Structure 1
């Protein structure tokens, strides 16, 4: 028995589903981004170990890659990830700033998922301007990248709370 065409999920929708699951759903790999960040205070988020990024820096880095994907999907070929926007400065180390950093991640998550509703599957094969990879690789890379950083956040959180 074959699945009716109307029930086959497009690849862009499959990617969107994976993004949603690893952010705040039920991924197979373990905790979501939201679960990893739950209960982390500003003091913990901004705590800096020598030569290790803080939790706040990791969240900003994850946001930067979403911003890059959003800009490129919108056709902005001039936006590049530089050292300053890829690993930006956290600013004030307050609860308000920590809330803002988390909100930026959530906003870019929502925007990226919203954009994927309008991306045709064939666009996934298009090269990302000035990069050696296509949109399929970029979007799956963001998911894989997030999972890597979720692990780092959980380890930092465990260490901070021990």
Structure 2
């Protein structure tokens, strides 16, 4: 379905109605603050960005027909290092993950957006969610966490 793919594109690097798209939000973060903990028991901006990458890659995997599971990188990956180069790599990896997702969406036929996922996480569900619902969820996930990043970046 072209409409949901368009929404993914807008959330990633397009004209998002809620404000800055995800790439702009990440690019506005200075490397010096990306790894800081501004709120006790909360994640750093870098951790949130890695979480976004992780789930974007998992959604792509599910769209490719793989069984739904925890992301390969884990739910909340920890940054390998806390340098400006590490922050640049996180932004680059986010870009690549989203470009791959959009490419994968472009390969789906319209009727495949209605296909239900094979859900290893919750086998008790009689009916899983569709690919379209999955993608809409990721759009919301991007918006939610980008809002967190935008707020955290004001602590500098």
In the alignment, the residues of structure 2 paired with residue 110 and residue 119 of structure 1 have an alpha-carbon distance, to the nearest angstrom, of 15
In the alignment, the residues of structure 1 paired with residue 148 and residue 28 of structure 2 have an alpha-carbon distance, to the nearest angstrom, of 16
Q: Structure 1 residues 32 and 135, CA, compared in 2 at 3 Å: closer, same or farther?
A: same
Q: Structure 1 residues 114 and 83, CA, compared in 2 at 3 Å: closer, same or farther?
A: closer
Match in the other structure for 1:8: none
Q: Structure 1 residues 18 and 46, CA, compared in 2 at 3 Å: closer, same or farther?
A: same
Alpha-carbon contact 1:45-1:98 (below 8 Å) kept: yes
In the alignment, the residues of structure 1 paired with residue 143 and residue 104 of structure 2 have an alpha-carbon distance, to the nearest angstrom, of 21
SS of alignment partner, residue 86 of structure 1: coil
In the alignment, the residues of structure 2 paired with residue 40 and residue 100 of structure 1 have an alpha-carbon distance, to the nearest angstrom, of 13
In the alignment, the residues of structure 1 paired with residue 32 and residue 88 of structure 2 have an alpha-carbon distance, to the nearest angstrom, of 12
Match in the other structure for 1:57: 47
In the alignment, the residues of structure 1 paired with residue 18 and residue 112 of structure 2 have an alpha-carbon distance, to the nearest angstrom, of 28
- Unaligned runs of at least 5 residues, structure 2: 123-127
Match in the other structure for 2:65: 75
Say whether residues 1:40 and 2:29 are aligned partners: yes
* Offset at residue 27 of structure 1 (A): 1.5
- Runs of 4+ in structure 1 off by over 3 angstroms are none
- Unaligned runs of at least 5 residues, structure 1: 1-11
Q: TM-score, normalised by structure 1?
A: 0.84
Say whether residues 1:152 and 2:130 are aligned partners: no
In the alignment, the residues of structure 2 paired with residue 92 and residue 157 of structure 1 have an alpha-carbon distance, to the nearest angstrom, of 19
Alignment of 1:1-162 (within 5 A): 12-48=1-37, 49-77=39-67, 80-81=69-70, 85-130=74-119, 131=122, 132-160=128-156
